[in-house]
Amino acid sequence: MEAVLAGILEAIDEEIAAQKKYEYLKEQTDNEMAEALFEQLIKDEKGHEKLLRSRYEALKEHLEEKDS
1-37 residue pLDDT tens: 899 999 999 999 999 999 999 999 999 999 999 999 9
pLDDT of residue 67: 84
- Per residue, what are the HEC states of the chain? CHHHHHHHHHHHHHHHHHHHHHHHHHHCCCCHHHHHHHHHHHHHHHHHHHHHHHHHHHHHHHHHHHHC
What range defines the domain where residue 40 resides? 2-67
* Total number of domains in the chain: 1
pTM given for the model:
0.91
